[in-house]
Amino acid sequence: MSPIQVKFIYFDLDDTLCNYWDSAKSALLSTIDDVVSDSDQRNSFFDLWCKEFDYVRRNLKSKKWYSSYLESDEDILHHIFKHCLDTHGLDQHNLALEMSKTYHARRLEKLSLFDNAEYVLEKLSQSYQLGLITNGPKHVQRSKIQKLNIESFFKVILIEGELGYGKPDAAVYEDAERLAQCDSKDILMVGNTYNQDIRPPLQRGWKAIWIQRDSDIPFSLRLNKPNFIIPPKSPKPSYIIHHLSELFDYV
């Protein structure tokens, strides 16, 4: 295998450096448990929450959601919890608000870096300039970065909520190239989502390493395993890894 020659390395955040989907699912289940004691009703509430969340996620760029989402996901969470409570005959405005705030807080509390993530960032930062490119609301992503205590590793941090647009928009990668102050061929992207973190950088002449984990499944999709299929006629990643420490084999 040939090492990748680069000067600047960008990382994705959620489920690349930290366990977002696992922390979110755990936080959601505990929040539901606070309100619903019957196991059948609990499962029904969870299923309905996943269904509504996935609907909102697929329609996120609509005028109804996107402008508020760029700042925070509080309005979306309140809407989803209220929808679930209404459907189960538990309609209470204050309860929906309380549940959304509880879930929001627990999701952050349960968030943690993957094994060796801090060590990998520390070692790589001694030889390369590092950056972070993450989708998500401004305040949510900043809170994650602060909680994980990783801001100091990055020369550049690009957040969808602060830019007004996110991956895979070409403008994100244009900003990233400009701020990295080096040629596209000298930039590496490390991420877990092909259509956001891998394909767009490769099409711009970057290198890209796809990190694949069996646990990397948005729980709202109710899948048994991740989809790691590369679309037809799409570029292949420079390398595929399953643990962040494998980066040292390639850079």
Q: What is the pLDDT of residues 161-214, one digit of tens each?
A: 999 999 999 999 999 999 999 999 999 999 999 999 999 999 999 999 999 998
Residue 225: the pLDDT is 74
Sheet holding 187-191, edge to edge: 156-159, 129-134, 8-11, 187-191, 207-211, 239-241
The answer to whether residues 162 and 223 belong to one domain is yes
The answer to whether residues 166 and 211 belong to one domain is yes
Q: What percent of the chain has pLDDT over 90?
A: 84
Count of domains observed in the chain? 2
Task: Tell me what the pLDDT averaged over the chain comes to.
Answer: 93
> Looking at per-residue confidence, does 90 or 136 come out higher?
136
Q: For residue 201, what is the domain's CATH number?
A: 3.40.50.1000
Residue 5: the pLDDT is 92
The answer to whether residues 223 and 238 belong to one domain is yes
The answer to whether residues 91 and 136 belong to one domain is no
Q: What percent of the chain has pLDDT over 70?
A: 98
What's the average model confidence in pLDDT over 96-108?
96
Confidence of residue 1 (pLDDT cuts 50, 70, 90): low
In a domain, 91, yes or no: yes
pTM, two decimals, is: 0.94
The answer to whether residues 94 and 199 belong to one domain is no
Domain of residue 25, residue span: 21-110
What's the average model confidence in pLDDT over 218-223?
75
Beta strands in the chain (DSSP E): 8-11, 129-134, 156-159, 187-191, 207-211, 239-241
In a domain, 245, yes or no: yes
What's the average model confidence in pLDDT over 77-106?
91
In a domain, 3, yes or no: no
The answer to whether residues 98 and 122 belong to one domain is no
Of 110, 138, 164, which closes a domain?
A: 110
In a domain, 2, yes or no: no
Cα 78 from Cα 126, distance rounded (Å): 43
What's the average model confidence in pLDDT over 124-145?
97
Of 90, 110, 130, which closes a domain?
A: 110
Of 70, 85, 110, which closes a domain?
A: 110
Confidence of residue 64 (pLDDT cuts 50, 70, 90): confident
